[in-house]
Chains A and B, each alone.
Chain A
Amino acid sequence: MTERGTSHAISVTVNGERVSRVVSARQLLVHFLRDTLGLTGTHIGCDTGNCGACTVVVDGKLVKSCMLLAPQADGGTVETVESLAADGQLSDLQRAFNEHHALQCGYCTPGMLMSATYLLRQNPDPSADDVRRAIRGNVCRCTGYVNIVEAIRSAGSAGKATLATGSAEEV
Protein backbone atom coordinates (compact mmCIF):
# COMPACT_ATOMS: atom_id res chain seq x y z
CA MET A 1 0.00 0.00 0.00
CA THR A 2 1.25 3.50 -0.77
CA GLU A 3 1.76 5.85 2.11
CA ARG A 4 -1.49 7.54 3.05
CA GLY A 5 -1.28 11.32 2.95
CA THR A 6 -2.01 14.64 1.34
CA SER A 7 1.20 14.60 -0.65
CA HIS A 8 2.87 11.84 -2.60
CA ALA A 9 6.17 11.21 -4.29
CA ILE A 10 5.35 9.98 -7.76
CA SER A 11 7.33 8.84 -10.77
CA VAL A 12 5.76 9.10 -14.18
CA THR A 13 7.14 8.58 -17.66
CA VAL A 14 5.94 11.59 -19.59
CA ASN A 15 6.56 11.60 -23.33
CA GLY A 16 9.28 9.05 -22.82
CA GLU A 17 11.03 10.87 -20.04
CA ARG A 18 10.86 9.67 -16.46
CA VAL A 19 10.03 12.44 -14.01
CA SER A 20 9.79 12.24 -10.23
CA ARG A 21 7.99 14.88 -8.22
CA VAL A 22 6.23 15.31 -4.92
CA VAL A 23 2.62 16.23 -5.64
CA SER A 24 -0.37 17.17 -3.59
CA ALA A 25 -3.02 14.46 -3.51
CA ARG A 26 -5.55 16.99 -4.67
CA GLN A 27 -3.61 18.05 -7.73
CA LEU A 28 -5.27 17.05 -10.98
CA LEU A 29 -3.12 15.37 -13.58
CA VAL A 30 -3.74 18.27 -15.95
CA HIS A 31 -2.36 20.76 -13.44
CA PHE A 32 0.60 18.47 -12.83
CA LEU A 33 1.35 18.49 -16.55
CA ARG A 34 0.78 22.22 -17.04
CA ASP A 35 1.92 23.84 -13.82
CA THR A 36 4.47 21.38 -12.46
CA LEU A 37 6.04 20.11 -15.67
CA GLY A 38 5.33 23.16 -17.82
CA LEU A 39 3.73 21.06 -20.56
CA THR A 40 1.16 23.69 -21.43
CA GLY A 41 0.02 22.07 -24.66
CA THR A 42 -2.63 20.18 -22.71
CA HIS A 43 -5.47 22.61 -22.11
CA ILE A 44 -8.40 23.11 -19.75
CA GLY A 45 -11.79 23.98 -21.23
CA CYS A 46 -14.29 22.91 -18.61
CA ASP A 47 -14.43 21.74 -15.04
CA THR A 48 -16.69 18.73 -15.40
CA GLY A 49 -14.85 16.37 -17.72
CA ASN A 50 -17.04 17.22 -20.70
CA CYS A 51 -14.84 19.10 -23.16
CA GLY A 52 -11.79 16.93 -23.70
CA ALA A 53 -9.32 19.81 -24.10
CA CYS A 54 -7.14 18.07 -21.52
CA THR A 55 -7.14 14.70 -23.30
CA VAL A 56 -3.92 12.68 -23.00
CA VAL A 57 -3.01 9.02 -23.21
CA VAL A 58 -2.21 7.36 -19.88
CA ASP A 59 -0.90 3.80 -19.93
CA GLY A 60 -2.08 3.44 -23.50
CA LYS A 61 -5.63 4.60 -22.75
CA LEU A 62 -7.19 7.83 -23.87
CA VAL A 63 -8.31 9.81 -20.81
CA LYS A 64 -9.17 13.31 -19.71
CA SER A 65 -6.38 14.54 -17.49
CA CYS A 66 -8.77 16.72 -15.49
CA MET A 67 -10.57 13.56 -14.33
CA LEU A 68 -7.50 11.98 -12.75
CA LEU A 69 -5.48 12.96 -9.73
CA ALA A 70 -1.75 13.27 -10.26
CA PRO A 71 -0.95 10.43 -7.82
CA GLN A 72 -3.13 8.10 -9.87
CA ALA A 73 -0.60 8.34 -12.69
CA ASP A 74 2.22 7.16 -10.43
CA GLY A 75 4.33 4.47 -12.09
CA GLY A 76 2.61 4.92 -15.41
CA THR A 77 3.22 6.53 -18.75
CA VAL A 78 1.64 9.71 -20.05
CA GLU A 79 1.62 10.88 -23.66
CA THR A 80 0.67 14.47 -24.43
CA VAL A 81 0.42 16.54 -27.58
CA GLU A 82 4.07 17.49 -27.14
CA SER A 83 4.99 13.90 -28.03
CA LEU A 84 3.41 13.98 -31.49
CA ALA A 85 5.98 15.89 -33.50
CA ALA A 86 8.94 13.56 -33.14
CA ASP A 87 12.16 15.52 -33.62
CA GLY A 88 10.16 18.62 -34.45
CA GLN A 89 8.65 17.06 -37.59
CA LEU A 90 4.89 17.23 -37.78
CA SER A 91 3.17 13.85 -37.83
CA ASP A 92 0.89 12.93 -40.73
CA LEU A 93 -2.05 13.75 -38.52
CA GLN A 94 -0.72 17.14 -37.52
CA ARG A 95 0.03 17.92 -41.14
CA ALA A 96 -3.48 16.85 -42.11
CA PHE A 97 -4.94 19.25 -39.54
CA ASN A 98 -2.97 22.07 -41.16
CA GLU A 99 -3.80 21.10 -44.73
CA HIS A 100 -7.52 20.62 -44.05
CA HIS A 101 -7.87 23.73 -41.88
CA ALA A 102 -9.03 21.52 -39.03
CA LEU A 103 -8.20 24.10 -36.39
CA GLN A 104 -9.06 27.72 -35.85
CA CYS A 105 -8.32 28.99 -32.36
CA GLY A 106 -6.29 25.85 -31.74
CA TYR A 107 -7.41 25.45 -28.15
CA CYS A 108 -9.16 22.09 -28.56
CA THR A 109 -6.53 20.91 -31.02
CA PRO A 110 -4.11 19.15 -28.65
CA GLY A 111 -6.89 17.07 -27.11
CA MET A 112 -8.44 16.46 -30.50
CA LEU A 113 -5.10 15.25 -31.86
CA MET A 114 -4.71 12.84 -28.96
CA SER A 115 -8.18 11.37 -29.54
CA ALA A 116 -7.44 11.04 -33.24
CA THR A 117 -4.07 9.43 -32.53
CA TYR A 118 -5.75 6.93 -30.23
CA LEU A 119 -8.38 6.17 -32.88
CA LEU A 120 -5.86 5.66 -35.65
CA ARG A 121 -3.82 3.31 -33.47
CA GLN A 122 -6.87 1.08 -33.12
CA ASN A 123 -8.47 1.69 -36.46
CA PRO A 124 -6.14 2.90 -39.20
CA ASP A 125 -9.00 3.23 -41.66
CA PRO A 126 -11.88 4.93 -39.86
CA SER A 127 -15.15 5.91 -41.51
CA ALA A 128 -16.53 9.39 -40.98
CA ASP A 129 -18.87 7.90 -38.41
CA ASP A 130 -16.00 6.16 -36.60
CA VAL A 131 -14.20 9.49 -36.44
CA ARG A 132 -17.23 11.32 -35.10
CA ARG A 133 -17.68 8.72 -32.38
CA ALA A 134 -14.00 8.83 -31.53
CA ILE A 135 -14.00 12.60 -31.01
CA ARG A 136 -17.39 12.70 -29.24
CA GLY A 137 -15.52 13.64 -26.07
CA ASN A 138 -13.67 16.59 -27.61
CA VAL A 139 -15.62 19.80 -27.92
CA CYS A 140 -14.62 22.22 -30.65
CA ARG A 141 -16.37 25.59 -30.78
CA CYS A 142 -14.75 26.90 -33.96
CA THR A 143 -14.93 24.38 -36.79
CA GLY A 144 -18.31 22.65 -36.63
CA TYR A 145 -16.11 19.51 -36.73
CA VAL A 146 -16.34 19.32 -40.54
CA ASN A 147 -12.69 19.77 -41.36
CA ILE A 148 -11.56 17.85 -38.29
CA VAL A 149 -13.40 14.77 -39.52
CA GLU A 150 -11.88 15.17 -42.96
CA ALA A 151 -8.39 15.71 -41.61
CA ILE A 152 -8.49 12.62 -39.41
CA ARG A 153 -9.85 10.50 -42.22
CA SER A 154 -7.20 11.74 -44.57
CA ALA A 155 -4.52 10.78 -42.07
CA GLY A 156 -5.95 7.25 -41.97
CA SER A 157 -4.80 4.72 -44.51
CA ALA A 158 -7.90 4.92 -46.68
CA GLY A 159 -7.70 8.68 -46.53
CA LYS A 160 -4.17 8.60 -47.83
CA ALA A 161 -5.31 6.37 -50.66
CA THR A 162 -8.22 8.63 -51.62
CA LEU A 163 -6.03 11.69 -51.30
CA ALA A 164 -4.08 10.32 -54.20
CA THR A 165 -7.25 10.20 -56.25
CA GLY A 166 -8.42 13.58 -55.12
CA SER A 167 -11.15 13.57 -52.52
CA ALA A 168 -11.63 12.77 -48.88
CA GLU A 169 -15.24 13.92 -48.80
CA GLU A 170 -17.29 12.66 -45.95
CA VAL A 171 -19.83 10.11 -47.07
Chain B
Amino acid sequence: MLLEQVEYVRPTSLEEALAVLTEVDGAAPLAGGQSLVNVLKNRVASVDLLVDISRLSELRSITRSPDGGLDVGACVTYDELDRSPEVREVHFTLGDVAAHIEDQQIRNKGTIGGNCCLSDPTNNLPPILAALDAVMSLRSASASRRVPAAEFFKGYFATALEPGELLVSVTVPPMPARSGAGYASLHVAADAKAMARAAAWVQLDAGEQTIAATRVVLARMASVPVRDAGVEARLAGAEAGEAAVRDACAVAAEGLRPIDDVHGSSDYRREMAKVMARRAVMQAIDQARGGGDGAERTRRGGRG
Protein backbone atom coordinates (compact mmCIF):
# COMPACT_ATOMS: atom_id res chain seq x y z
CA MET B 1 0.00 0.00 0.00
CA LEU B 2 2.72 2.41 0.97
CA LEU B 3 4.81 3.76 -1.85
CA GLU B 4 8.50 4.53 -1.91
CA GLN B 5 9.46 8.17 -1.99
CA VAL B 6 8.73 9.52 -5.46
CA GLU B 7 8.54 12.85 -7.22
CA TYR B 8 5.46 14.04 -9.04
CA VAL B 9 4.93 16.65 -11.68
CA ARG B 10 1.92 17.64 -13.76
CA PRO B 11 2.80 19.23 -17.09
CA THR B 12 0.17 21.41 -18.71
CA SER B 13 1.00 20.56 -22.29
CA LEU B 14 2.16 17.58 -24.26
CA GLU B 15 5.36 19.41 -25.13
CA GLU B 16 6.16 19.95 -21.48
CA ALA B 17 5.45 16.31 -20.75
CA LEU B 18 7.71 15.09 -23.55
CA ALA B 19 10.47 17.43 -22.45
CA VAL B 20 10.41 16.23 -18.88
CA LEU B 21 10.21 12.58 -19.92
CA THR B 22 13.29 13.09 -22.08
CA GLU B 23 15.27 15.04 -19.52
CA VAL B 24 14.74 12.96 -16.40
CA ASP B 25 16.11 9.47 -16.03
CA GLY B 26 13.66 7.34 -14.12
CA ALA B 27 10.67 9.43 -15.20
CA ALA B 28 7.51 7.54 -16.06
CA PRO B 29 4.23 8.79 -17.46
CA LEU B 30 1.25 8.44 -15.13
CA ALA B 31 -2.04 8.21 -16.99
CA GLY B 32 -4.96 6.33 -15.37
CA GLY B 33 -2.56 4.71 -12.95
CA GLN B 34 -4.68 1.57 -12.64
CA SER B 35 -1.61 -0.60 -13.11
CA LEU B 36 1.26 1.76 -12.38
CA VAL B 37 0.01 2.72 -8.93
CA ASN B 38 -0.26 -0.97 -8.08
CA VAL B 39 3.30 -1.51 -9.25
CA LEU B 40 4.40 1.34 -7.00
CA LYS B 41 2.35 0.11 -4.05
CA ASN B 42 3.96 -3.28 -4.29
CA ARG B 43 7.38 -1.67 -4.76
CA VAL B 44 8.21 -4.08 -7.56
CA ALA B 45 9.61 -1.33 -9.76
CA SER B 46 11.19 1.93 -8.87
CA VAL B 47 10.20 5.23 -10.46
CA ASP B 48 11.90 8.53 -9.59
CA LEU B 49 9.45 10.93 -11.18
CA LEU B 50 5.81 10.48 -12.07
CA VAL B 51 4.76 12.67 -14.96
CA ASP B 52 1.00 13.07 -14.73
CA ILE B 53 -0.32 13.17 -18.29
CA SER B 54 -3.89 12.26 -17.44
CA ARG B 55 -5.30 15.75 -17.86
CA LEU B 56 -3.58 16.67 -21.13
CA SER B 57 -6.35 17.59 -23.53
CA GLU B 58 -4.15 16.59 -26.50
CA LEU B 59 -4.44 12.98 -25.34
CA ARG B 60 -8.08 12.86 -24.36
CA SER B 61 -10.12 12.94 -27.55
CA ILE B 62 -11.77 10.40 -29.81
CA THR B 63 -12.08 11.62 -33.40
CA ARG B 64 -13.16 10.15 -36.69
CA SER B 65 -10.23 10.13 -39.09
CA PRO B 66 -10.81 11.24 -42.69
CA ASP B 67 -10.87 7.62 -43.89
CA GLY B 68 -13.67 6.81 -41.46
CA GLY B 69 -11.46 5.15 -38.87
CA LEU B 70 -10.85 6.29 -35.32
CA ASP B 71 -8.10 8.29 -33.68
CA VAL B 72 -8.14 7.57 -30.00
CA GLY B 73 -6.03 9.68 -27.65
CA ALA B 74 -3.80 7.68 -25.34
CA CYS B 75 -5.54 8.99 -22.21
CA VAL B 76 -9.04 8.07 -23.33
CA THR B 77 -10.49 5.82 -20.62
CA TYR B 78 -12.13 2.43 -21.04
CA ASP B 79 -15.40 3.95 -19.95
CA GLU B 80 -15.12 6.61 -22.64
CA LEU B 81 -14.44 3.91 -25.23
CA ASP B 82 -17.46 1.99 -23.99
CA ARG B 83 -19.77 5.00 -24.14
CA SER B 84 -18.40 6.70 -27.24
CA PRO B 85 -20.99 6.75 -30.05
CA GLU B 86 -18.12 7.00 -32.57
CA VAL B 87 -16.40 3.91 -31.21
CA ARG B 88 -19.65 1.96 -31.03
CA GLU B 89 -20.50 2.93 -34.60
CA VAL B 90 -17.17 2.11 -36.18
CA HIS B 91 -15.82 -0.63 -33.93
CA PHE B 92 -18.55 -1.93 -31.73
CA THR B 93 -16.39 -4.77 -30.50
CA LEU B 94 -13.66 -2.43 -29.28
CA GLY B 95 -16.22 -0.61 -27.14
CA ASP B 96 -17.56 -3.91 -25.93
CA VAL B 97 -14.13 -5.15 -24.93
CA ALA B 98 -13.61 -1.94 -22.98
CA ALA B 99 -17.00 -2.37 -21.29
CA HIS B 100 -15.91 -5.67 -19.80
CA ILE B 101 -12.61 -4.62 -18.31
CA GLU B 102 -12.88 -5.34 -14.60
CA ASP B 103 -15.18 -2.77 -13.04
CA GLN B 104 -16.64 0.71 -13.30
CA GLN B 105 -14.00 2.35 -11.13
CA ILE B 106 -11.15 0.94 -13.19
CA ARG B 107 -12.94 1.78 -16.44
CA ASN B 108 -13.29 5.38 -15.26
CA LYS B 109 -9.54 5.77 -14.82
CA GLY B 110 -7.75 3.18 -16.94
CA THR B 111 -6.66 4.37 -20.36
CA ILE B 112 -6.14 2.78 -23.73
CA GLY B 113 -2.56 4.05 -23.67
CA GLY B 114 -1.85 2.58 -20.29
CA ASN B 115 -3.42 -0.73 -21.23
CA CYS B 116 -1.12 -0.94 -24.25
CA CYS B 117 2.08 0.50 -22.80
CA LEU B 118 2.15 -1.78 -19.79
CA SER B 119 2.12 -4.74 -22.19
CA ASP B 120 0.79 -7.02 -19.52
CA PRO B 121 -0.22 -10.18 -21.37
CA THR B 122 -3.50 -10.27 -19.43
CA ASN B 123 -4.58 -6.86 -20.72
CA ASN B 124 -7.74 -6.81 -22.79
CA LEU B 125 -7.10 -4.22 -25.48
CA PRO B 126 -3.85 -5.30 -27.20
CA PRO B 127 -5.29 -8.37 -28.98
CA ILE B 128 -8.34 -6.56 -30.34
CA LEU B 129 -6.19 -3.63 -31.47
CA ALA B 130 -3.84 -6.04 -33.21
CA ALA B 131 -6.78 -7.80 -34.87
CA LEU B 132 -8.16 -4.46 -36.05
CA ASP B 133 -4.73 -3.56 -37.45
CA ALA B 134 -4.42 -0.47 -35.29
CA VAL B 135 -1.42 1.81 -35.49
CA MET B 136 0.26 3.38 -32.50
CA SER B 137 1.49 6.97 -32.76
CA LEU B 138 4.57 7.61 -30.69
CA ARG B 139 6.18 10.93 -29.94
CA SER B 140 9.29 12.12 -28.27
CA ALA B 141 10.52 15.65 -27.71
CA SER B 142 12.27 15.52 -31.06
CA ALA B 143 10.45 13.06 -33.29
CA SER B 144 7.31 11.12 -33.97
CA ARG B 145 6.68 7.76 -35.57
CA ARG B 146 3.92 5.25 -36.18
CA VAL B 147 4.16 1.59 -35.26
CA PRO B 148 1.60 -1.08 -36.17
CA ALA B 149 0.04 -2.69 -33.10
CA ALA B 150 1.40 -6.04 -34.15
CA GLU B 151 4.94 -4.69 -33.79
CA PHE B 152 4.35 -2.54 -30.75
CA PHE B 153 4.16 -5.30 -28.15
CA LYS B 154 7.61 -6.75 -27.58
CA GLY B 155 7.35 -8.93 -24.53
CA TYR B 156 6.28 -9.07 -20.90
CA PHE B 157 6.00 -5.43 -19.88
CA ALA B 158 8.05 -4.41 -22.92
CA THR B 159 7.00 -2.35 -25.93
CA ALA B 160 8.56 -0.58 -28.88
CA LEU B 161 8.67 2.65 -26.89
CA GLU B 162 12.16 4.14 -26.59
CA PRO B 163 13.21 6.13 -23.52
CA GLY B 164 11.58 9.53 -23.62
CA GLU B 165 8.94 8.36 -26.06
CA LEU B 166 5.23 8.53 -25.33
CA LEU B 167 2.29 6.78 -26.93
CA VAL B 168 0.02 9.66 -27.90
CA SER B 169 -2.76 8.01 -29.85
CA VAL B 170 -4.04 4.82 -31.36
CA THR B 171 -5.43 4.87 -34.87
CA VAL B 172 -7.92 2.18 -35.74
CA PRO B 173 -8.62 1.88 -39.46
CA PRO B 174 -12.25 1.75 -40.60
CA MET B 175 -14.08 -1.53 -40.87
CA PRO B 176 -14.13 -2.50 -44.56
CA ALA B 177 -17.30 -3.73 -46.21
CA ARG B 178 -18.43 -7.26 -45.34
CA SER B 179 -16.04 -7.46 -42.44
CA GLY B 180 -16.50 -7.85 -38.73
CA ALA B 181 -14.67 -8.38 -35.50
CA GLY B 182 -14.99 -10.88 -32.70
CA TYR B 183 -13.48 -11.34 -29.29
CA ALA B 184 -13.65 -14.25 -26.88
CA SER B 185 -12.03 -14.74 -23.51
CA LEU B 186 -11.97 -17.47 -20.96
CA HIS B 187 -12.01 -15.57 -17.70
CA VAL B 188 -11.22 -16.99 -14.29
CA ALA B 189 -14.40 -15.20 -13.18
CA ALA B 190 -16.77 -12.66 -14.67
CA ASP B 191 -14.84 -9.78 -16.26
CA ALA B 192 -11.70 -10.87 -14.43
CA LYS B 193 -8.34 -11.99 -15.76
CA ALA B 194 -8.36 -14.21 -18.82
CA MET B 195 -6.56 -17.52 -19.22
CA ALA B 196 -7.02 -17.65 -22.95
CA ARG B 197 -8.25 -15.06 -25.35
CA ALA B 198 -8.70 -14.54 -29.06
CA ALA B 199 -9.59 -11.57 -31.20
CA ALA B 200 -10.53 -11.94 -34.84
CA TRP B 201 -11.21 -9.81 -37.84
CA VAL B 202 -12.87 -11.46 -40.80
CA GLN B 203 -13.79 -10.18 -44.24
CA LEU B 204 -16.20 -12.21 -46.33
CA ASP B 205 -16.20 -12.42 -50.07
CA ALA B 206 -18.85 -10.67 -52.10
CA GLY B 207 -21.33 -13.52 -51.71
CA GLU B 208 -20.76 -13.58 -47.93
CA GLN B 209 -20.35 -17.36 -48.06
CA THR B 210 -16.58 -17.74 -47.79
CA ILE B 211 -13.85 -16.02 -45.90
CA ALA B 212 -11.77 -13.63 -47.96
CA ALA B 213 -9.34 -12.32 -45.35
CA THR B 214 -8.72 -12.73 -41.65
CA ARG B 215 -6.58 -11.69 -38.79
CA VAL B 216 -6.73 -14.02 -35.82
CA VAL B 217 -4.85 -12.89 -32.75
CA LEU B 218 -4.31 -15.07 -29.70
CA ALA B 219 -3.52 -13.68 -26.29
CA ARG B 220 -2.18 -15.36 -23.18
CA MET B 221 -0.46 -17.92 -25.40
CA ALA B 222 2.84 -16.04 -25.34
CA SER B 223 4.21 -12.90 -23.74
CA VAL B 224 2.50 -10.76 -26.39
CA PRO B 225 -0.56 -11.12 -28.61
CA VAL B 226 0.32 -13.29 -31.62
CA ARG B 227 -1.24 -13.56 -35.05
CA ASP B 228 -1.97 -17.24 -35.68
CA ALA B 229 -0.78 -17.79 -39.23
CA GLY B 230 -1.84 -21.44 -39.21
CA VAL B 231 -5.45 -20.65 -38.40
CA GLU B 232 -5.52 -17.72 -40.81
CA ALA B 233 -4.17 -19.88 -43.65
CA ARG B 234 -6.86 -22.49 -43.07
CA LEU B 235 -9.58 -19.87 -42.87
CA ALA B 236 -8.57 -18.19 -46.11
CA GLY B 237 -11.14 -19.19 -48.68
CA ALA B 238 -12.93 -21.45 -46.25
CA GLU B 239 -16.65 -21.59 -45.89
CA ALA B 240 -17.88 -19.07 -43.35
CA GLY B 241 -19.61 -21.62 -41.14
CA GLU B 242 -19.20 -23.43 -37.85
CA ALA B 243 -17.71 -26.64 -39.26
CA ALA B 244 -15.01 -25.04 -41.35
CA VAL B 245 -14.14 -22.58 -38.63
CA ARG B 246 -13.92 -25.34 -36.06
CA ASP B 247 -11.64 -27.25 -38.39
CA ALA B 248 -9.40 -24.26 -38.99
CA CYS B 249 -9.19 -23.33 -35.34
CA ALA B 250 -8.17 -26.83 -34.38
CA VAL B 251 -4.59 -25.83 -35.13
CA ALA B 252 -4.69 -22.69 -33.01
CA ALA B 253 -1.71 -22.07 -30.77
CA GLU B 254 0.29 -24.82 -32.43
CA GLY B 255 3.91 -24.47 -31.42
CA LEU B 256 3.08 -22.01 -28.65
CA ARG B 257 3.86 -22.77 -25.05
CA PRO B 258 1.50 -20.83 -22.78
CA ILE B 259 2.21 -20.73 -19.08
CA ASP B 260 1.15 -23.28 -16.49
CA ASP B 261 -0.40 -21.85 -13.37
CA VAL B 262 -3.03 -22.42 -10.72
CA HIS B 263 -5.80 -21.72 -13.22
CA GLY B 264 -4.77 -24.38 -15.67
CA SER B 265 -1.99 -26.14 -17.46
CA SER B 266 -0.28 -25.10 -20.62
CA ASP B 267 -2.05 -27.89 -22.48
CA TYR B 268 -5.42 -26.78 -21.21
CA ARG B 269 -4.72 -23.22 -22.28
CA ARG B 270 -3.76 -24.38 -25.77
CA GLU B 271 -7.04 -26.27 -26.00
CA MET B 272 -8.84 -23.16 -24.87
CA ALA B 273 -7.08 -21.10 -27.54
CA LYS B 274 -8.84 -23.28 -30.12
CA VAL B 275 -12.21 -22.68 -28.50
CA MET B 276 -11.67 -18.95 -28.11
CA ALA B 277 -10.38 -18.62 -31.69
CA ARG B 278 -13.44 -20.42 -33.00
CA ARG B 279 -15.80 -18.27 -30.96
CA ALA B 280 -14.08 -15.05 -31.95
CA VAL B 281 -14.07 -15.96 -35.63
CA MET B 282 -17.74 -16.98 -35.54
CA GLN B 283 -18.64 -13.68 -33.90
CA ALA B 284 -16.65 -11.84 -36.53
CA ILE B 285 -18.46 -13.67 -39.31
CA ASP B 286 -21.75 -12.86 -37.70
CA GLN B 287 -20.84 -9.21 -37.46
CA ALA B 288 -19.57 -9.19 -41.05
CA ARG B 289 -23.00 -10.35 -42.10
CA GLY B 290 -24.52 -7.40 -40.34
CA GLY B 291 -25.51 -9.06 -37.10
CA GLY B 292 -23.70 -9.66 -33.88
CA ASP B 293 -23.06 -6.11 -32.83
CA GLY B 294 -22.23 -7.63 -29.52
CA ALA B 295 -25.25 -6.03 -27.96
CA GLU B 296 -26.57 -9.28 -26.71
CA ARG B 297 -23.30 -10.10 -25.10
CA THR B 298 -23.29 -6.76 -23.34
CA ARG B 299 -26.73 -7.37 -22.00
CA ARG B 300 -25.71 -10.74 -20.66
CA GLY B 301 -22.88 -8.98 -18.90
CA GLY B 302 -21.04 -12.21 -18.80
CA ARG B 303 -17.90 -13.80 -19.96
CA GLY B 304 -17.17 -12.37 -23.38
Q: Within the complex, are A and B direct neighbours (CB within 8 Å)?
A: yes
Residues of A within 8 A of B (CB): 1-6, 8, 24-26, 28, 44, 47-49, 52, 55, 61-64, 66-69, 71-72, 74, 115, 118-119, 129, 132-134, 136-138
Chain B residues whose CB sits within 8 angstroms of the CB of A8 once the complex forms:
8
Chain A residues whose CB sits within 8 angstroms of the CB of B54 once the complex forms:
72
Beyond A62-B104, A72-B54, list 17 extra A-B contacts (CB 8 Å): A1-B10, A1-B16, A3-B9, A6-B6, A25-B7, A25-B50, A26-B2, A47-B41, A66-B41, A67-B37, A69-B8, A71-B8, A71-B10, A115-B105, A118-B104, A119-B104, A137-B104
20 A–B contacts from the bound complex (CB under 8 Å): A1-B10, A6-B7, A6-B8, A26-B3, A28-B1, A44-B1, A62-B108, A64-B106, A66-B1, A67-B37, A67-B38, A71-B52, A72-B54, A74-B10, A115-B104, A118-B104, A133-B104, A136-B102, A136-B103, A136-B190
Residues of B within 8 A of A (CB): 1-12, 16, 20, 30, 33-34, 37-38, 40-42, 49-50, 52, 54, 79, 102-106, 108-109, 190-191, 299, 301
Q: Are B102 and A4 in contact (CB under 8 A)?
A: no
Least Cβ distance of A36 to chain B in Å?
A: 14
B6, B79, B109 interface centre (most CB from chain A within 10 Å)? B109
Chain B residues whose CB sits within 8 angstroms of the CB of A3 once the complex forms:
9
CA of A6 to CA of B47 in the docked complex: distance in angstroms? 12
CA of A58 to CA of B208 in the docked complex: distance in angstroms? 48
Chain A residues whose CB sits within 8 angstroms of the CB of B49 once the complex forms:
4
Least Cβ distance of B43 to chain A in Å?
A: 11
Q: Please, which residue of chain A has its CB at the minimum distance from the CB of B102?
A: A137
Q: Are B8 and A25 in contact (CB under 8 A)?
A: yes
CA of A25 to CA of B11 in the docked complex: distance in angstroms? 15
Chain B residues whose CB sits within 8 angstroms of the CB of A67 once the complex forms:
33-34, 37-38, 105-106, 109
Q: Are B104 and A72 in contact (CB under 8 A)?
A: no
CB contact under 8 A between A47 and B8, given known A4-B49, A72-B52, A137-B105 = no
Chain A residues whose CB sits within 8 angstroms of the CB of B7 once the complex forms:
4-6, 25
Q: Are B105 and A52 in contact (CB under 8 A)?
A: yes
CB contact under 8 A between A68 and B33, given known A47-B42, A137-B106 = yes
Chain B residues whose CB sits within 8 angstroms of the CB of A119 once the complex forms:
104
Of A6, A62, A68, A129, the residue contacting B37 (CB under 8 A) is: A68
CA of A25 to CA of B102 in the docked complex: distance in angstroms? 27
Least Cβ distance of B62 to chain A in Å?
A: 17
CA of A91 to CA of B207 in the docked complex: distance in angstroms? 59
Q: Are A69 and B105 in contact (CB under 8 A)?
A: no
CA of A66 to CA of B41 in the docked complex: distance in angstroms? 9
